[in-house]
Chain A
Amino acid sequence: MSAIIVAILVVPLATSLVCLKAAARVSRMLSLTSSGATFALALALVTSRQPTAAVAGWLRVDALSVVFLVAVTFLYVATTVFAVGYVRPGASPAALRYSRRFFAGLNLFAWSMTMATIVNGLALLWVAVEVTTIVSALLVAIDDTDGAAEAAWKYVLIASMGLGIALLATVVMYYAGSTVLGGSYELSYPRLLGAAAHFPHQIVRLSFGLAVLGYGTKMGLVPVHTWLPDAHSEAPTPVSAMLSGSLLTVSFYAILRFYQVTIRAIGPNFPRELLLVFGLASLALAALYLASQRDLKRLLAYSSVEHMGILAIGMSFSAPIAIVGVLLHVLAHAAAKATAFFGAGSVIRKFGTKDIGRIEGGVGALPWSGPMLLLAILALSAMPPFGIFRSEFLIVEGGLSGGGSALPAVLVVFVTLAFGGLSWFASQTMLTPTPDGVVRGEANAWMPASMVIGLVALVVLGVHPPPQLSGLLQRAAAELGAHR
C-alpha cells in the first residue's frame, strides 16, 4: 500500500517535468496516461480499511484522505481529456510553448492537490495548499489577457493573505499541542488526534476560527470569496474546472482536518456553529448572485460558492448521515461542476463570447456538448438521478433527523433559488433557436468525451454508488467523529 502512495506522489510530478521539454503530442499522451494511472492508484486505496503511512510517516492515507484523493484524481483524468481537445495543436513556436507550459502546469497543479490529501500533518498540509495556490495562479494568468492578469493578481494576493492566516492557525494549534506533547513534536494527525482531548480549549477555539477564515478564503466561503469568480472566469476552462471541482474542496479538506482535532478537544458545538454561519452566508449570497450573472463562467463560479456553502452547512448538522452526505457531495460536486465547465468551454469556443446575452441556441449548435451541459446544470441543481440529488438529500435528511427543521428548510429554499438562476440561464442560452450564422458541430471528440466521463460518474453516484465507495464514505465520516 505504501508503494501506491509513493507512486501517486511521483507520477504526476515526473509527468509535469517531462511535459516542459516534450513535443506537444508526447505531453498529451503522457498527461492522459499519468492522470489515468493516478486515478487507478487512488481507486486501489478505496478498499483499504486501515490508515497507511509511507516515507517515514511524512505521508499518510486514511479514509478521509482517500475520499478527497479520489475527487482530485477523477478530476485530473476528466480535465486532461478535455484539455487535449481544448489546447489547439499548432506548429508555431508560440503554440508549442503554450502547450508545454499548459500541460506542465496542469500536471503540477494536480500533483500539488494530491499531495495536500496525502501528507501527514497540519504543517505539511499548509505547505501543499500554498503550492496549489502558486501553481494555479500561474495557470490563471497563462492566457495573458488583461482580465487574466487582473484575476491572477487578485487571486494570488487574496489567497496568500488567507493562507497567512491559515499558517497562524497552524502555529496556534502547534502551541495547543505543545502543552500536552512537549516542546518539539511534528504536527502529524495521529499524534494530534491522540492527545487532542487534553488541549486547552480557548487556544483550540482560536486556532479553528483562524483556520476557517484562512482556508475558507481559498474554499470560497463568503465573505472571503472575492477572488473566486474572477479567477474562475478568466482562467482557461480546464483550469477553471480544476479550481472549482478540486482546489476548493482541498481547502475544505484542510478545514476538516482542523475540525477533526477541534471536536476531540472542545466538542462539536463551536465548530458546527462557526461553519453554519459561513455556510449560510455563502449559500444565501451565491443563490442571489446567481440570478444576476451575465458571464457564463462567473455563473458557474457562483454556483461553486453555493455548493461550498452547502458543504459547510452539512458539517454543522449533527447526524452522521449528514456527514456522509457532505463527503458524497464533495465527489458529486467535483464531477458535476467540471462537466458544466467543460460544456461552458465548448459553448464559449463556439460562440466566441462568455456573455450569456449573446449565446443562443446552444443545444442546436453543439449536438453533444449542448444537451450534456443541460444535464450537468440539472445535476448541479440536485435533480435525480444524479449524485448531487443523493448527497443533498442525505444532508437535508441529516439536518431533519438532528431535531430542527428550520435550517434544512432554509437550505432547500436557497438551493431552489439557485436552481432558478441556473435554469433561467439554461433556457435563455441553450434551448432557444440557433442563429443562422452558427455552424452546427463539435470542435473535436475530446471535449464531449470528457463530459461523458463526468455524467457517467454522476449517474453512478446518484443511482447506485458502489458498496466499496459507500463503505469508504462511512469510514471517513466515522473519522470525522460522526458517531458522536
Chain B
Amino acid sequence: MAAIGASPSTLTDAAEVVALLVLLSEFAMLRSSLSRSQVRLYAFQSLCVAVLAGFVAATRHIGALYALMGLSFVLKVIIVPAIIFRLLRDVRVDVTAGHRLGVASMVMLAIALSVFGIVVVGRLPIHSRSLPILALAIATAVILVAFLLVIVRNDVVSQAVGFFSLENGVSVASLVLAAGLPLIVEVAFLFDLLVAVVVFGVLMRVHHGRARTLSTRGLERLRG
C-alpha cells in the first residue's frame, strides 16, 4: 500500500474508484459475448476485491486481512479462473449462447438496478470505519446485477461466473460491514467457495457430456 502516507480523503477516493471498478467489471461481464473474456473480467474483479481487502488491512491495521487478501488472490484470481479456462479448453466452446434480452435493454435494466441499490443503501443508518459507505452501495449494485446476469444469460459458464461475482459483491459488503470477522470464518467462506467451484465444474461437465453444449436452452424439460 504505497498510498499509506497520503491524506485520508485521497485514500477514500482511491478506495471508491476501486470499488467502482468492481461494478464496472460486473457490467462488462453482463454484456460480454465470449466466455473467456467473462472469466478474465471475473479475475480482474477479484483482483479489485483483493486490493480493497489490502486497503482495509492497511488503514485499520487488521493483520488477518492481509492473509485474507493473499488467500482470496490465490483462489479467486488464479485458481477459479484456471478451473473454468480448463473446462472451456476441454469442451472447445468459446462464444456464449447469448441472452434473453437485447444488449441495450439489458444494460438499461442493470443501470436501473444499480441506481436502486445505491439509493436504498444510502438511506441505511450504517457507519463503517473501514471503507466509505459508497463501497457498500456499490456492493449492493454488484449483487443485483449478478442476479440479472444469471437470469438473462443462457449458458452455464455465464451463470456460474454470475454466482462467483455475486460472491465478490458479498465480499466487498463484508469488508465494509464485517472487517473484523475472525479469520477462521473468512477462511471457511473461501474454502466453501473453492468446493463450490469444483462442484460447479463437475456439473458443467455433466451438462456438457449429456447435452453436448454449454447452453441452457435445452434445460426446460422439468417444469410445473
Contacts and interface: CB of A to CB of B under 8 A. Distances in A.
A174 B178 contact: yes
A149 B180 contact: no
A146 B200 CA distance: 17
A217 to B, nearest CB: 12
Contacts of A153: 156, 203-204, 206-207, 216, 219
A123 B195 CA distance: 17
Given A130-B196, A164-B167, A123 B125 contact: no
B163 A151 contact: no
Given A161-B166, A164-B170, A185 B185 contact: no
Given A124-B185, A172-B177, 10 more contacts: A123-B181, A123-B188, A134-B192, A134-B196, A145-B210, A156-B196, A171-B173, A178-B177, A186-B185, A298-B224
B124 interface: yes
B192 A131 contact: yes
B170 A167 contact: yes
A178 B126 CA distance: 11
Interface string A133-157: 0100110010011110111111011
B101 interface: no
B221 interface: yes
15 contacts: A123-B189, A124-B185, A130-B192, A150-B219, A151-B222, A152-B203, A153-B216, A153-B219, A161-B166, A171-B174, A172-B177, A174-B178, A178-B178, A184-B182, A289-B224
A270 interface: no
Contacts of B222: 147, 150-151, 154, 229-230, 233-234
Instruction: Sort chain B's interface into a size bin.
Output: 35 or more
B182 A149 contact: no
Contacts of B177: 171-172, 174-175, 178
Interface stretch (A84-92, A198-206, A255-263): A198-206
B221 A161 contact: no
B58 to A, nearest CB: 16
Q: Secondary structure of the B side of the interface?
A: helix
Nearest to A127: B188
A137 B204 CA distance: 12
Nearest to B178: A174
B199 A184 contact: no
Interface string A430-470: 00000000000000000000000000000000000000000
Interface of B: 62, 124-126, 128-129, 143, 146-147, 150, 156, 159-160, 163, 166-167, 170, 173-174, 177-182, 185, 188-189, 191-192, 195-196, 199-200, 202-204, 206-207, 209-211, 216, 219, 221-222, 224
A156 B128 CA distance: 33
Contacts of A175: 126, 128, 177-178
B10 to A, nearest CB: 24
Interface of A: 121, 123-124, 126-127, 130-131, 134, 137-138, 141, 144-147, 149-154, 156-157, 160-161, 164, 167-168, 171-172, 174-175, 178, 182-187, 200, 202-203, 206, 229-230, 233-234, 289, 292-293, 298
B200 A156 contact: yes
A168 B170 contact: yes
Contacts of A130: 192, 196
Closest 7 CB pairs of A and B: A184-B180, A175-B177, A183-B180, A174-B178, A230-B222, A123-B185, A171-B174
Given A156-B200, A168-B143, A186-B185, A150 B221 contact: yes
Nearest to A152: B203
Contacts of B125: 200, 202-203
B199 A127 contact: no
Contacts of A152: 203, 206
B199 A134 contact: yes
A14 to B, nearest CB: 19
A146 B126 contact: no
A171 B222 CA distance: 35
Contacts of A229: 222, 224
Contacts of B209: 149
A233 B224 CA distance: 12
B221 A178 contact: no
B207 A131 contact: no
Contacts of B129: 183
B195 A131 contact: yes
Contacts of A150: 207, 219, 221-222
